[in-house]
Amino acid sequence: MLRQRRVVLASLLLCASACGGGKDPPTAPSGGRGTRITMIAPRPTIAVGESQQLSVVITGPDGIGHPPSGPIAWRSSNDAIYAVWAGGLAVALAPGQATISAEADGRTADVTLRVEPSVGSVRRLQGRVTDFASDAPLAGVTLAFGADVSAIDLRTTTDASGAFALDVPAGRIYAALDGLIVADLAVHVGGPAYRGDLLGNGGTCISRYGLVTDAATFQPVTGATVRLGGRSAVTGGDGWYRIDLGCVDDPSSNFNTTFMYVTHPTYREFSRVLGRGVHRVNRIDAELQRP
């Protein structure tokens, strides 16, 4: 009887370590017995038009995990199927599979993810809401999105880190933060998944900011020059720009913001008629086309 119990116990232990339930998020550790790196992908399979946030954990010999101390370099084996933006946002562009790699702290992890076909015109919108002046995350903020300012009915709330995620219609949408319109006819959701960071403005400071992307691949465009109201800014590696126009809203001395221009050596010039005045903090995105 004792021998039978030992056999049963051994079988349970083997199954616990090797059988797996198939429901845990895929991870990809490397680095040997000492310090190792693990990539975490919440969903092994998503549909075209969806996205997910990947993360990396470094685990030391003591078994305690922590974020990498340095930057993370993300790569995809097939950008046409699964693209990875700066920050680890993985975007599903076409059916198939691709291997995503992350290199951090001198170690590399990778995982293979699948993309299934999908129908519909919704886009996955996710991002963060931060304070205009301090860049601090704004938690518990109610966000509303819609294609018509009088019919905003898509709502979500930011978490403790200021992050949010929801599905919205493709094309141009409005965004409202705690009932205040913060992106009048400005946020153009052109990709199957979209980073939708927004700024909360509690004071009188005035700014324009946004994301510049490739019209065909929806990838961020680095090094694009944005000119507006006599000021200019150059997009960084994540495609974002910000132009601050001052903290005094004086109608008699407002900058002329009738036009916004975006130029890049390998793209056609982009321009948009915006109207005159510099009221509030507004987000204005642009999609650039190849010649």
Q: For residue 226, which of 214, 211, 215, 246 has the smallest C-alpha distance?
A: 211
**Confidence at residue 180, expressed as pLDDT on a 0 to 100 scale:** 79
Report the alpha-carbon distance of residue 244 to residue 93 in Å, rounded.
34
**Assigned token pair, 93:** 């562009």
Q: DSSP code of 252?
A: G
Enclosing H/E stretch for 74: strand 73-76
**Confidence at residue 210, expressed as pLDDT on a 0 to 100 scale:** 92
- Indicate whether this model's pTM tops 0.85: no
Enclosing H/E stretch for 66: strand 65-66
Per residue of the chain (291 residues), give pLDDT as tens. Answer: 434 433 333 333 333 333 434 445 555 555 446 789 999 999 999 887 777 889 999 998 888 888 898 899 999 999 888 888 777 888 887 889 999 999 999 999 999 999 887 766 677 888 899 988 888 999 999 998 887 666 667 899 999 999 998 888 777 788 888 887 776 556 777 777 788 898 887 666 788 899 999 887 888 999 999 998 889 999 999 999 999 888 766 655 566 778 899 999 999 999 888 777 667 788 888 888 888
Report the alpha-carbon distance of residue 242 to residue 179 in Å, rounded.
23
Contact criterion met (CB below 8 Å) for 177 and 183: no
**Confidence at residue 192, expressed as pLDDT on a 0 to 100 scale:** 73
